């Protein structure tokens, strides 16, 4: 039950392999009649070109690689869907890898992808150190970073985290809160750093000082950490006016801890998230948050990558403006 090759098709159609190849490429130099015959032979044999052989002749493989920390995270799974769809439309397939926030795994994945002759790479790097190491491997392979970027030389598409955090913090200030706590995220996370900077800037404008609590870089389960530390916070009694959570997932964990401790949101403390994952919109949650437009990010990233693959080599940077989504977890300070 071996698969038909181009030679089989050629034999059946009574032409040469070269001709078949040209028909498949829909090149102009063959007669309509021959094309017909060849196409017919193709379907008769159920012929499917062998991608490996194609890749070998030095041309496109039509595969792009994508490495993210974890697709089961709604943020990345949303992006992944958008990416896969746009890529498929353009005739590209995507090879997936989860780095699980592990530098070695991230590098190994990229290495494997390179061996596969991928045409381009999309990566959500876990750290600046890690990204720096990619560069050596990648060479001048088309590549765009998604979500975060730590290099002046790389193309990227990301949300303007500083602006988003700034806008959100201003909103909190506008509601009269002054004791605002920035909660969560790994201290090594660049994204956290940027959001925190936007947050600080907004506070500084009003001359108020902010607090923060961050997770050590090496915590395995950030969710777990968030829950435990929120619990501790609420039990300590030093509950702030408002909490600016690093992410929606973090915010959800904070809610959970609050529930546990009898702290009411938003009556006792306002809570603001970041990401606008789908569950934030549920009535029972109804979390005020900032939308990163991950879907759009994915689409743009693929678009930019394809541009690069097709020859455009300048660096591109797309900064999407995040949007504050006001729901019910933040209210005016009494």
Q: Which of 16, 44, 50, 319 binds a second copy (CB under 8 A)?
A: 50
The answer to whether residue 132 forms part of the interface with a second copy (CB under 8 A) is no
Residue from 147, 210, 148, 222 nearest 184 by CA: 222
**Contacts by 41-44, CB closer than 8 A, 24 or more apart:** 41/9, 41/12, 41/13, 42/9, 44/12
Which of a second copy, DNA, none has residue 334 at its interface (CB below 5 to 8 Å by kind)?
none
The answer to whether residue 17 forms part of the interface with DNA (CB under 7 A) is yes
Q: Confirm if 301 and 332 have CB atoms less than 8 A apart.
A: no
The answer to whether residue 54 forms part of the interface with DNA (CB under 7 A) is yes
Q: Which of 25, 207, 216, 311 binds DNA (CB under 7 A)?
A: 25
CA–CA separation, 272 and 175 (whole Å):
12
Report the run of H or E that residue 83 belongs to, with start and end.
helix 74-89
Number of residues that bind a second copy (CB under 8 A): 52
Count of CB atoms within 10 A of residue 303's CB? 17
The answer to whether residue 306 forms part of the interface with a second copy (CB under 8 A) is no
The answer to whether residue 31 forms part of the interface with DNA (CB under 7 A) is yes
In sequence order, what DSSP letters do the residues of 274-325 get, joined into one string? SB--GGGGSTTT--BEEE--HHHHHHHHHHHHHHHHTT--S--EEEEPPEEE
Site for DNA in 290-309 (CB under 7 A): none
Q: Which of 1, 26, 33, 104 binds DNA (CB under 7 A)?
A: 33
CA–CA separation, 267 and 253 (whole Å):
18
Q: Which of 50, 221, 278, 321 binds DNA (CB under 7 A)?
A: 50
Q: Which stretch binds a second copy (CB under 8 A): 111-119, 154-162, 306-314, 320-328?
A: 111-119
Count of CB atoms within 10 A of residue 301's CB? 30
Helix, strand, or coil (residue 88): helix
CB of residue 320 to a second copy, shortest distance in Å: 18
The answer to whether residue 313 forms part of the interface with DNA (CB under 7 A) is no
State the residues that interact with a second copy by CB under 8 A: 1, 48-56, 61, 63, 70-74, 77-78, 80-81, 84-85, 88, 93-98, 100, 105, 109, 111-117, 139-140, 252, 255-256, 259-260, 279, 282-285
State the residues that interact with DNA by CB under 7 A: 2-3, 5-7, 14-22, 24-25, 28-31, 33-34, 47-50, 53-54, 56-59
């Amino acid at each position: 039950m071996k698969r038909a090759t181009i030679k089989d098709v050629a034999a059946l159609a009574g032409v040469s392999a070269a001709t078949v190849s040209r028909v498949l490429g829909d090149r102009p130099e063959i007669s309509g009649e021959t094309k017909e015959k060849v196409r017919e032979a193709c379907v008769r044999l159920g012929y499917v070109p062998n991608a490996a052989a194609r890749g070998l002749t030095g041309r496109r493989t039509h595969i792009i690689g994508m490495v993210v920390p974890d697709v089961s995270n709604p943020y990345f799974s949303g992006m992944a869907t958008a990416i896969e769809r746009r890529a498929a439309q353009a005739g590209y397939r995507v090879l997936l890898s989860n780095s699980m926030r592990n530098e070695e795994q991230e590098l190994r994945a990229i290495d494997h992808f390179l061996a596969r002759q991928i045409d381009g790479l999309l990566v959500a790097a876990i750290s600046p150190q890690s990204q720096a190491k990619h560069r050596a491997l990648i060479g001048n392979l088309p590549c765009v970073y998604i979500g975060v970027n730590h290099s002046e030389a790389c193309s990227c598409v990301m949300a303007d985290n500083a602006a988003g955090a700034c806008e959100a913090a201003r909103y909190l200030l506008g509601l009269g809160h002054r004791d605002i706590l920035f909660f969560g995220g790994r201290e090594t996370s660049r994204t956290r750093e940027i959001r925190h900077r936007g947050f600080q800037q907004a506070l500084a404008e009003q001359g108020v000082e902010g607090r923060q609590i961050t997770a050590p870089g090496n915590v395995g389960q950030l969710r777990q950490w968030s829950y435990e530390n929120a619990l501790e916070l609420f039990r300590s009694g030093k509950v702030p006016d408002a909490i600016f959570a690093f992410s929606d997932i973090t915010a959800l964990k904070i809610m959970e801890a609050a529930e546990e401790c009898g702290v009411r949101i938003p009556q006792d403390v306002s809570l603001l998230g970041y990401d606008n994952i789908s569950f934030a919109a549920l009535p029972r949650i109804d979390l005020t948050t900032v939308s990163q437009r991950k879907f759009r990010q994915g689409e743009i990233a693929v678009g930019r990558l394809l541009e690069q693959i097709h020859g455009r080599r300048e660096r591109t940077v797309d900064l999407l403006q995040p949007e504050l989504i006001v729901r019910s977890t933040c209210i005016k300070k009494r």
